[in-house]
Amino acid sequence: MTDFASRLIVWQKQHGRHNLPWQNTTDPYAIWVSEIMLQQTQVSAVIGYYSKFMVRFPTIAALASATQDDVLQHWSGLGYYSRARNLHNAAQTIMDEHSGQFPQDFDTIQTLSGIGRSTAAAIASFSFNQVQTILDGNVKRVLARHFFVEGWPSAPKIEKELWVLAEKLLPKQTTNKSIVAYTQGLMDLGATICTRSNPKCSKCPLNGTCEAYKQQRVHALPTPKPRKVVPEKNITMLIFLRGDQVMLEKRPPTGIWGGLWSFPEVETNHQVESIVLNQFGIIAKAGITLPILSHTFTHFKLHIQPQTLEVLKLDTKVSEPGKMWIAVEDAIGAAIPAPIRKILNLLQNKNSI
């Protein structure tokens, strides 16, 4: 066992996290769901969603047989919705191609939708005690600091170097629990000690060999991603109101908010009544313009101008598949993106609308 691994294992057993909802189990399904939810999302945000998701979809079979709408509804608010679609798709693959049993072969695990090398390694380690290394964002930060690896960690060349390091650091001889403690230790160290800001270096079990700590340059690493100008987009969302109901339409299966329900969009709220008539066949009277809502995605920032419209007369177009009228209260609990829920909550609280 490497000295790096042995120190980390001892530390994890004494100071690591041991009572998260997805710990203390070897059920690959429970571990898989948690690992997908934890991609790009902090533990504190995941815990509530995880528990509710597992109650609704307690097995792979339950998830596979559910509708995508149902899955997305239970994911709504967690963001990065392609994760939910991939999870659903992979569950169906497991039922169809693996007799409903989560595969144990490391390479086979990586063929499932939404599972890359690091996620597969975490599942294999926690579920099957396989000696595989993870390399998520937290681990990249730990290794970049400890070995003073300069350069943005997700750049192909730097990432390859970090994978090589991660492989070398794996425990060479393991018991059933040591690989679990090692893998969890890497996660815990990055999440609680070697944090992005205000790292607790004095409490780190690896500070004696950490190059960034020795050189007093911990805050300089990992090297930030090269900055780019973030594109911005402005849209108007049309809030059709008919009594206590609003109209939602289903978004395309791919792209932002893929498969979720949302409000119809247009590029401008100028001459909105004319646009609504020509595009939707709805005679409507423009109402209150709600405050602009901004939402940041990975690659751009979206500014949403919600425009309410009182429906006076409907065309048959609004009965087409992919569109539905639903009470505001019920819409809040549907498979919708977080910004849409904010708008609906605002609508519900504005009795004058």
User: Residue by residue, what is the 3-state secondary structure of the chain?
Assistant: CCHHHHHHHHHHHHHCCCCCCCCCCCCHHHHHHHHHHHCCCCHHHHHHHHHHHHHHCCCHHHHHHCCHHHHHHHHCCCCCCHHHHHHHHHHHHHHHHCCCCCCCCHHHHCCCCCCCHHHHHHHHHHHHCCCCCCCCHHHHHHHHHHCCCCCCCCCHHHHHHHHHHHHHHCCCCCCCCHHHHHHHHHHHHHHHHCCCCCCCHHHCCCCCCCHHHHCCCHHHCCCCCCCCCCCEEEEEEEEEEECCEEEEEECCCCCCCCCCEECCEECCCCCHHHHHHHHHCCEEEEEEECCCEEEECCCCEEEEEEEEEEEEECCHHHHCCCEEEEEHHHHHCCCCCHHHHHHHHHHHHCCCC
Catalytic residues: 35
| Strand pairing report for 232-242 and 301-313 | parallel
